[in-house]
């Protein structure tokens, strides 16, 4: 026949040779054949990406690996996919860029140093050498001349240069933020690192602590990042949906309670609500333990101080707050109901309210919110229904916005035309009517809000990119001069005690103020490793340049035509990269055409172990 018969591998294997059209092929000997051809490819430089304006280009990229120590079948599968695409495009006449690098900063290297001794740098570069040694014999069509690790000073120095540009352009800033603090490891924990209220590594009860932290202003781009998802036609629908949910656009009402008996300067409490249609059922107001009013009261009232301190011992995660018993303390302050000035509501400090979500203050409507119901039942607060759900079994709600209900005309719920009508309406219609009513009557205004918070990038860790700023007693926070970059990590550090080794290094912190020249101190926080992976795809277009990117290279090679990686990165890595590409464009490091850096995305599955089933299932 004229086609290969692939259905009889057993016979082929036993014969030891493939009889085919008279051609006799000896048994495939990978060690010899692969070595021979890989050497030939290397010598000919067949996988070296060359910018050739006469040819169309194709950029295929798999998410780069973390150098954990050895490659596994998941890596092989991932990089084989890119290999197939790259070879196909090469054979079609494209200039192909198919690079490889290492996402090399992060906690595991530091943990290894703490647990087994040694240095994170040695551990990391040792792992990279091992993994490169395992990967190269696979014969992947990779341009190894572009290889870098994010822990190379040549890479993170360029990242520091961009950080300074972004600081100048207002894309990064400092503010006080409440963080999850691990009192044993003496570090800030990401929400994902808090498990049942405890630090994932130390097992210590996590505390809330206020620290001055650096933030990327990603929330300014929330609307744009959401809208642009529609244009990503070659991304999986699932990933676009996950990003949209994470950005979390909502339409709601912003209004202010006027206070009675509050300290000076606190005559109003701002509230944002996505359910203004339930406002008439408010029976209390509540503020976060981190709300400015709570902090004020804390300083003057020992009982409140004690309660607030207790609240801070729960982490900052939504999950932790969800699980914790709902607790509150009546401040003695009252607010007027905005729809009926005669009604006064108590103001509680409540442990389940996050300061960085909305305004850090809520109104409680126990009839239509399960959490408020739990709270009201516990503290004997009244429960006023505003409407009756059409489906009887959802009498007590947490109504979804699309659900229909009939507004009630009870004694407490005054009938306000346009706000609560007689007709059946959906929650969405009720919300729109409530916003219109409140705007018309000067009670509040409709606001589009996003769940997406600014991206906190400070880590109290050694093995990361140093944040290139200096603290001067006279000048404040001053960016390091670009000619002094990279701000290198010191090698002589110890991991025999918890906390950030940069903090206790005897000399590394000492430097001259870049502005006035007087003695000053370096920032000891390093960057979240997600920063490193938010622009590596752009760096691959000019991996050895003395600037973060080179315009003609970026113009030619960007965007990534096909990106391949795990679904676990569907939200943070991809969202941060989309933001970072925009920030790089704003600071002159990427063309406008590259603000959506990945044209097509393929999320491969996972290689898992065998599964077993019973015969009758
Ligand atoms: Zn100074």
pLDDT at residue 31 is higher than 90: no
Neighbouring C-beta atoms of residue 531, cutoff 10 Å = 25
Split at pLDDT 50, 70, 90, the class of 391 is low
Alpha-carbon distance of 103 to 124, in angstroms, equals 10
CA of 485 to the centre of ligand 1 (A): 18
Split at pLDDT 50, 70, 90, the class of 21 is low
CA of 455 to the centre of ligand 1 (A): 28
CA of 477 to the centre of ligand 1 (A): 8
Alpha-carbon distance of 574 to 534, in angstroms, equals 8
3-state SS assignment for residue 507: coil
Alpha-carbon distance of 463 to 392, in angstroms, equals 57
High-pLDDT (> 70) share of the chain, %:
89
CA of 188 to the centre of ligand 1 (A): 28
CA of 470 to the centre of ligand 1 (A): 9
Alpha-carbon distance of 278 to 388, in angstroms, equals 11
CA of 512 to the centre of ligand 1 (A): 8
Split at pLDDT 50, 70, 90, the class of 496 is confident
Split at pLDDT 50, 70, 90, the class of 7 is very low
CA of 472 to the centre of ligand 1 (A): 5
pLDDT at residue 314 is higher than 90: no
CA of 365 to the centre of ligand 1 (A): 52
Q: Which two tokens stand for residue 344?
A: 């006064």
pLDDT, position 199? 85
pLDDT, position 416? 55
pLDDT at residue 17 is higher than 60: no
CA of 521 to the centre of ligand 1 (A): 10
CA of 471 to the centre of ligand 1 (A): 8
Split at pLDDT 50, 70, 90, the class of 134 is very high
CA of 172 to the centre of ligand 1 (A): 21
pLDDT at residue 23 is higher than 80: no
Alpha-carbon distance of 61 to 76, in angstroms, equals 14
Mean pLDDT of 247-252: 93
* Best CA proximity match to 103, nearest among 139, 131, 76: 131
pLDDT, position 8? 37
Which of 138-152, 222-236, 338-352, 573-587 has the weakest average pLDDT? 338-352
pLDDT at residue 6 is higher than 50: no
CA of 474 to the centre of ligand 1 (A): 5
Alpha-carbon distance of 389 to 385, in angstroms, equals 10
pLDDT at residue 81 is higher than 60: yes
Neighbours of ion ligand 1 (CB under 5 A): 472, 474-475, 513, 515-516
CA of 511 to the centre of ligand 1 (A): 11
Q: Which two tokens stand for residue 509?
A: 């912190």
Split at pLDDT 50, 70, 90, the class of 568 is confident
CA of 468 to the centre of ligand 1 (A): 15
CA of 513 to the centre of ligand 1 (A): 5
Length of the chain: 617
Mean pLDDT of 378-390: 84
3-state SS assignment for residue 36: helix
CA of 482 to the centre of ligand 1 (A): 16
Contact present, 341 and 282 (Cβ < 8 Å): no
pLDDT, position 398? 56
CA of 427 to the centre of ligand 1 (A): 56
CA of 520 to the centre of ligand 1 (A): 7
CA of 475 to the centre of ligand 1 (A): 4
Split at pLDDT 50, 70, 90, the class of 114 is confident
Mean pLDDT of 248-267: 95
pLDDT, position 428? 83
Contact present, 225 and 575 (Cβ < 8 Å): yes
Q: Could you give the residue ranges of the DSSP H alpha helices within 548-605? A: 551-557, 572-586
Mean pLDDT of 292-319: 87
CA of 514 to the centre of ligand 1 (A): 7
CA of 584 to the centre of ligand 1 (A): 28
* Best CA proximity match to 236, nearest among 482, 556, 564: 564
pLDDT at residue 219 is higher than 90: yes
Q: Tell me, what DSSP letter sits at residue 392? A: G
Mean pLDDT of 314-327: 74
Report pLDDT digits (tens) over 418-460. 555 567 777 788 888 889 989 998 999 999 999 898 999 999 8
Report pLDDT digits (tens) over 93-109. 999 999 999 999 998 89
CA of 164 to the centre of ligand 1 (A): 17
CA of 522 to the centre of ligand 1 (A): 12
Q: Could you give the residue ranges of the DSSP H alpha helices within 441-545? A: 501-504, 529-532, 536-539
CA of 517 to the centre of ligand 1 (A): 6
pLDDT, position 400? 58
pLDDT, position 483? 96
Give φ, ψ of 458 to 5 degrees: -75, 135
CA of 461 to the centre of ligand 1 (A): 25
Report pLDDT digits (tens) over 32-78. 899 999 999 999 999 999 999 999 999 999 999 999 988 888 899 99
Higher pLDDT: 420 or 608? It is 608
Report pLDDT digits (tens) over 504-518. 999 999 999 999 999
CA of 487 to the centre of ligand 1 (A): 18
Between 302-312 and 292-300, two packed helices, what is the crossing angle to 10 degrees? 130
pLDDT at residue 213 is higher than 80: yes
CA of 580 to the centre of ligand 1 (A): 30
CA of 531 to the centre of ligand 1 (A): 28
Contact present, 315 and 209 (Cβ < 8 Å): no
Computed over every residue of the chain, the mean pLDDT equals 88
CA of 611 to the centre of ligand 1 (A): 63
pLDDT at residue 9 is higher than 80: no
């Amino acid at each position: 026949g004229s086609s290969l018969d692939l259905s009889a591998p057993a016979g082929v294997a036993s014969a030891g040779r493939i009889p085919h059209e008279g051609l006799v092929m000896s048994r495939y000997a990978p060690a010899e054949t692969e070595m021979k051809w890989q050497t030939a490819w290397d010598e000919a430089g067949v996988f070296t990406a060359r910018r050739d304006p006469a040819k169309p280009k194709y950029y295929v990229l798999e998410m780069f690996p973390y150098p954990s120590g050895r490659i596994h079948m998941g890596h092989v599968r991932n990089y084989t996919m890119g290999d197939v695409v790259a070879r196909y495009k090469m054979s079609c006449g494209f200039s192909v860029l198919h690079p490889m690098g290492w996402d090399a900063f992060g906690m595991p290297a530091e943990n290894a140093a703490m647990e087994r001794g040694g240095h994170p740098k040695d551990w990391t570069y040792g792992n990279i050498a091992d993994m490169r040694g395992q990967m190269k014999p696979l014969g992947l069509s990779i341009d190894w001349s572009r290889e870098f690790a994010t822990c190379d000073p040549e890479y993170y120095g360029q990242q520091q240069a961009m950080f300074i540009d972004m600081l100048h352009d207002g894309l990064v800033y400092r503010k006080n933020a409440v963080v999850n603090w691990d009192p044993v490891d003496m570090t800030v924990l990401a929400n994902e690192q808090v498990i049942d209220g405890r630090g994932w590594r130390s097992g210590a009860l996590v505390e809330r602590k206020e620290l001055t932290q650096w933030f990327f202003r990603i929330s300014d781009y929330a609307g744009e990042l959401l809208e642009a998802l529609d244009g990503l036609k070659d991304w999986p629908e699932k990933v676009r949906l996950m990003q949209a949910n994470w950005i979390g656009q909502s339409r709601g009402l912003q209004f202010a309670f006027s206070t009675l008996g509050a300290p000076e300067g606190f005559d109003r409490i701002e509230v944002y609500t996505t359910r203004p249609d339930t406002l008439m059922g408010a029976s209390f107001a509540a503020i976060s333990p981190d709300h400015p009013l709570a902090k004020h009261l804390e300083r003057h009232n020992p009982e409140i101080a004690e309660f607030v301190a207790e609240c801070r011992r729960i982490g900052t995660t939504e999950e932790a707050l969800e699980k914790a018993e709902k607790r509150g303390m009546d401040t003695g302050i009252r607010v007027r109901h905005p729809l009926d000035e005669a009604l006064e509501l108590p103001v509680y400090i409540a442990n389940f309210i996050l300061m960085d979500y909305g305004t850090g203050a809520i109104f409680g409507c126990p009839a239509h919110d399960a959490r408020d119901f739990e709270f009201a039942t516990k503290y004997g607060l009244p429960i006023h229904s505003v409407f009756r759900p059409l489906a009887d079994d959802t009498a007590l709600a947490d109504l979804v916005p699309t659900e229909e209900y009939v507004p009630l005309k009870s004694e407490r719920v005054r009938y306000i035309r346009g706000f609560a009508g007689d007709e059946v309406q959906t929650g969405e219609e009720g919300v729109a009517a409530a916003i219109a009513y409140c705007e018309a009557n000067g009670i509040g205004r409709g606001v589009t809000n996003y769940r997406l918070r600014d991206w906190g990038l400070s880590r109290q860790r050694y093995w990361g990119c140093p944040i290139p700023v200096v603290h001067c007693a006279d000048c404040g926070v001053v960016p390091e001069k670009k000619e002094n970059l990279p701000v290198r990590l010191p090698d002589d550090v110890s991991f025999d005690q918890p906390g950030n080794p940069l903090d206790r290094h005897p000399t590394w912190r000492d430097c001259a103020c870049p502005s006035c020249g007087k003695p000053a101190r370096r920032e000891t926080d390093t960057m979240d490793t997600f920063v490193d992976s938010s622009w590596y795809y752009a760096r691959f277009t000019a991996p050895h340049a003395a600037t973060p990117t080179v315009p003609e290279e970026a113009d030619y090679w960007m965007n990534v035509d096909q990106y391949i990686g795990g679904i676990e990165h569907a939200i943070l890595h991809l969202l941060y990269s989309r933001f970072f590409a925009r920030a790089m464009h704003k600071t002159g490091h990427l063309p406008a055409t590259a603000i959506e850096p990945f044209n097509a995305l393929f999320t491969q599955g996972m290689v898992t172990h065998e599964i077993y089933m019973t015969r009758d299932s």
